[in-house]
Structure 1
Amino acid sequence: MVQQLTELSAACAQASMWPLPESDLLALLDGLHAAQQLLHAALLHAVREIDGRAIPTSHAATSTTVWLRGRLRINPGSAARMVAHAKLLDADPLLDSAVTAGKVNAEQLTAIAAALGDLPKDLDPPTREHAAATLIEWAPRLDPGGLRTSGRRILEHIAPEIVDAAEEARLQRAERQAYEQRYLTLSPLGDGRVRVRGLLDSQAAATVAAALDPLCRPVALPPAPKSGSESAPGSETGSGFETGAGFETGVGIKPWSGFEAAPDFETGLGFETGSGVEAAPGFEPAPGFETASGIKMASGLVEDRTPGQRRADALVEVCRLVLAGGDLPDNGGDRPQLAVTVAFDPLRQTLGAGILDSGASVSAATVRRIACDARVLPLVFDGDSQVLDAGRTRRLVTGPLRRALIARDRGCAFPGCDRPARWCDAHHVIPWSEGGPTELANLALLCEFHHRVVHGDSGWEIRPAQDGRPEFLPPAWLDPQRTPRTNLYHLRT
């Protein structure tokens, strides 16, 4: 059987694709991908049997993962994931059946495994099985990213009575870890480039993104200067070679030929001695000199943040100040801002966990901190998360109406598009010039590219679906049945 399979695979690999018409080529793509997923299921079954028989041990391997890495010449992460997935299928017949039938592909299996692994350890087996069954049911409609997003909030669907405490604890743990691991470094490479690296927590990243997004839209730039031509202002290396925020090597001094900074060598926003640069023997820093253990302040207090953490905090603070100043251009018809959507319990007068525009969840504690200095826009939703009341109707889609539109669509509504709401325009389904009202039911968020597609002669049409969200009818040449499509990428569950 394996020999026949190998021969058929070789024939497919050697076949010429160029003579195929478009319909046959697309059918071939779908068929090959489906066959690949079925083969992956067979591979996992083989791995589980090999692991169960302890064959790697008899081959003097320390583990099945190590054995697979050597035999299949794959990286350790792929080998470990293969073993873990094989064990998961062995322990979950329902998931095994879905993978074997081709209903769940390899990447979706990774997302489902991560979601099931994040469930509380003390969760009862029936609820855990219900979670797996629900994720399998969603697999035909969601890509791996959508499954990961939905999987993080699966308990809200299947066991809402236990989700609040567990979700809040999980979010707070994740936020503490992310905040402790924040950093920002600027490392000059010695060739006119500076490598910028860092990590931010979700709220800090959303603040930075809110400040950057208005300036990130594509613009026409002048061509770069050719080699040997006059450099643009600010790109000098002769009179004051700049490596970061004000650090200079001196007038007319250039880095020597072949100079390469160490990966963690930093000269930009604060010189460091603890990361890649060793002090000379007997060197003692002056009072207040920066070391890995912190800075002793004049008041006797100790600054316990690392240099990288201080730079990360400084970047976020700069973005906060810029957002508060109101000098940035409008972004998608609204003032640039950090936005968080949060459920409010009118009975308990409490705020729940929130969702940033990026889709990242934040804890109720973080929501309360943000709300201390925020403009609150009430949006009333029905049971299907559809906005019922978002303020008065107007011609221009700004203010409360745009926030309601963002809360519903989350990003470009065109099927498969992943562009965020800040990069989108509000599109009137029935044009304003033809009497279309400026109300939520007649609006859809579209990025510039898909806005042009819809307004052109592409044949795509938009209409409201039964749940109130926009759905798209493809042109007949693409789908003779014109089956309605919706964008599941931005799905929030």
Structure 2
Amino acid sequence: MSDPRLPLLSTGELLRSIVGKVAEIRAREYSVMQEIAELNRRGAAAELGYKTLPQVLRHALRWDPATARRWVEQAVLLSSEITPTGSEVAARLAVTAAAAAEGTLSIEHVAAVAEVMKTLPAEAEPRLAAQVEAQVVDYAREHAPAEVRARGTTLTYALFQNDPEPRDPEPEPAGNRLTLRQSKTGDWKLAATMDAVTGAKFATLLDPLAKPRPSTAEGPDPRSRDERQGDALAELIDLMLRADQLPEHGGEPVTLTLTMAYEDLAAQTGHAVLDNGERIPVEEVRQLACSAGIIPMVMGSRSQPLDVGRRSQPLDVGRRSPLFTAGIRRALVARDHGCAFPGCSRPPKHCDAHHVHHWADGGDTRIDNGVLLCRHHHTLIHRSGWEVKMEQGVPVFYPPAWLDPLRKPRRNLLHTAA
């Protein structure tokens, strides 16, 4: 509900009110950073079973990873430190900390000042560094963060233009690099750099598959060279999936699991889902199911596997082994579609199979006692107050009491199976 007094204020009064309230918000942000710094000093992450403090803040405050890291980084820069002997050392950005405490600087301003200070030569005198920080902070009091970065660059260049450039990034060593991203339309885009030997091997594999098709009554092959090489790469991937020796994920050769509801399969309607989340029209299902490296999985009405692969495989090995078989893992992939921890989007290839009731404590190795967890969340379940339970055939997670005193159950709603 809007404040009925607002229409009575002049434009100047409104703006002054906004400026004052934003200053209060910034001062409160500084106070929060001091508390974050104290958590960091006392090792709260390890105390709670987490690897890093940003991971704790992600769960406590529902922050994105980058946001949590930024707050912790700024908190450390703006806070004093206590030495093992008990003496206090001033904050690394003491001038910036004082301005932030006043409510003058936002966390974005603090990040901009920190970036400028990182550009100073490592051998710069502390007195000169303090002078640079003071000048940059004075500029930040009246300008936006982007302008602070630009001004800081100009200032440091003027002060140290005759010095060597120790902070220029070193050229990356030659090697193999591949960038692979999926677009919103579902297509994949890749860019690669290969060393001379690897590139020659790849070209040798691709060349026979990329040759123009023989001329027909319709004329010569109309595809461009790039199109022919793209089709050749797709054919090379199919050949790899049919190879005898493939790298492994979770103890079995690389495969894609094709999951479809039994009712849809019988009626030949709807779609199937690959374990990377891609939806496949029913018309393509039969063709894909015949491919090596693609495992068909039929699901019942309660998302429980009815059949794994081309022959029924046991989904319960009891106490015989603590290791999940390939068949059980495929069933877990079909059910969980990746890390089952709430909010995690990691795909199956980055996940381990975890015993909900630990095998060492008497738990069986079977599908209804297993859950897929990425390495980070697998560690978290073992070391922190988070718990996972199987309820109606699906994994449900309960947060620690410090995060949610009511410990309300949570599920991962990002994956298709959820």
TM-score by length of 2: 0.51
Cross-structure match for 2:279: 361
Checking the alignment, whether the CA contact within 8 Å between 1:464 and 1:470 is kept in structure 2 is: yes
Cross-structure match for 1:460: 386
Deviation at 1:308, TM superposition (A): 1.9
State the AA in 1 paired with 2:271: A
Query: Which of 316, 332, 345 is residue 250 of structure 2 equivalent to?
Result: 332
Deviation at 1:352, TM superposition (A): 3.8
State the AA in 2 paired with 1:381: G
Checking the alignment, whether the CA contact within 8 Å between 1:409 and 1:490 is kept in structure 2 is: yes
Task: Report the structure, 1 or 2, having the larger strand content.
Answer: 2
Q: Does 1:398 align with 2:398?
A: no
Cα gap change, 1:318 to 1:348, in 2 (>3 Å): closer
Cα gap change, 1:246 to 1:477, in 2 (>3 Å): closer
Partners of 1:17 and 1:451 in 2: CA distance: 33
Q: Percent identity?
A: 36
Q: Does 1:10 align with 2:16?
A: no
3-state SS of the aligned residue for 1:415?
coil
Cross-structure match for 1:381: 300
Cα gap change, 1:424 to 1:304, in 2 (>3 Å): same
Cross-structure match for 1:436: 363
Structure 1: which 5+ residue stretches go unaligned?
A: 34-190, 209-233, 236-240, 249-267, 271-289
3-state SS of the aligned residue for 2:31?
coil
Partners of 1:18 and 1:330 in 2: CA distance: 48
3-state SS of the aligned residue for 1:311?
helix
Checking the alignment, whether the CA contact within 8 Å between 2:261 and 2:299 is kept in structure 1 is: no
Cα gap change, 1:194 to 1:469, in 2 (>3 Å): closer
Partners of 2:373 and 2:346 in 1: CA distance: 9
Query: Which of 422, 429, 451 is residue 349 of structure 2 equivalent to?
Result: 422
Which stretch shifts more, 1-10 or 366-375?
1-10
Deviation at 1:304, TM superposition (A): 2.1
Cα gap change, 1:203 to 1:474, in 2 (>3 Å): closer
Where relative contact order (Cα < 8 A, 6+ residues apart) is larger, the structure is: 1
Note the 1:271-310 alignment, pairs <5 A: 297=214, 301-310=219-228
Deviation at 1:442, TM superposition (A): 1.0
Partners of 1:320 and 1:427 in 2: CA distance: 31
Note the 1:175-324 alignment, pairs <5 A: 244-245=199-200, 297=214, 301-324=219-242
Deviation at 1:339, TM superposition (A): 2.2
Structure 2: which 5+ residue stretches go unaligned?
A: 1-5, 39-55, 65-172
Cα gap change, 1:351 to 1:372, in 2 (>3 Å): farther
Cα gap change, 1:247 to 1:333, in 2 (>3 Å): closer
Task: For residues 308-364 of structure 1, give each alpha carbon's deviation from its aligned partner in whole angstroms, at most 9, with x where no partner exists.
Answer: 222222222222222211312321122211322123448955364111111121111
Which stretch shifts more, 467-476 or 389-398?
389-398
Cα gap change, 1:438 to 1:316, in 2 (>3 Å): same
TM-score by length of 1: 0.44
Checking the alignment, whether the CA contact within 8 Å between 2:398 and 2:408 is kept in structure 1 is: yes
Query: Which of 360, 371, 383 is residue 289 of structure 2 equivalent to?
Result: 371
Query: Which of 364, 388, 397 is residue 472 of structure 1 equivalent to?
Result: 397
